[in-house]
Amino acid sequence: MDPQDLKNKMDKIIAHFQSELASIRSERAHPSLIENIDINVYEQSMKLKSIASITVSDQQTLTVTAWDAGNITAIDKGLRNANLSLNPRIEGSKLLIVLPPITNERRQEFVNLVKQKSEQAKISIRNARRDANESLKLQNKNGSLSDDDLKEHLKKTQNLTDEYSNLITERLKKKQTSIENL
């Protein structure tokens, strides 16, 4: 595997990790908290962001406006079933979601969830490293890569792995601090 391919793969892992972190509540209301929730409409499951607009009314309130007013009850049901401790209130073709204050117990659940997501991202990084190393060793075995080049590429792969693992750790600490300071 080319070092640039490995870097691109690891960049995608980081981007996915970032999107997962964004969906975990921290300081204030943000559309990313709910935009990827699956809602059952039109006899299929769709992401909330594809069937409604989500806006921030104030620091603790989100407004969801369904593009099809007939979907408002399905959106309400989906949000209640999302296990986010949300209690949406229907007002015409809109839903108001006032985020409740976070208890210490819920805050700890969020911290644990962030740690779990960071560990999953690190596992993905290590798996990408393993795949790259296997590819390099196969190239060496086939004779298209010398032993010296193999050692150099393995070292670069490890350095890249360390760099991305540290990046995940930094983002974990930042999100953890954000959650603890709610």
**Phi, psi dihedrals of residue 26, rounded to the nearest 5°:** -135, -120
Assign 60 a pLDDT band (cuts: 50, 70, 90). confident
Bridge partners (DSSP) of residue 61 are: 58, 98
Residue 182: what pLDDT?
Answer: 66
Largest alpha-carbon pair distance within the chain? Answer: 69
User: What class does CATH assign to 28-98?
Assistant: alpha beta
Top-tier CATH class for 3-21+103-180: mainly alpha
Q: What is the pLDDT of residues 62-119, one digit of tens each?
A: 999 999 888 899 999 998 888 777 889 998 889 999 887 778 888 888 899 999 999 9
Which residue ranges make up each domain of the chain?
Answer: 3-21+103-180, 28-98
Q: Treating both helix axes as pointing N-terminal to C-terminal, what angle do 147-180 and 104-142 enclose, rounded to 10 degrees?
A: 170
Q: What is the mean pLDDT of the chain?
A: 89
Q: Do domains 3-21+103-180 and 28-98 have the same CATH topology?
A: no
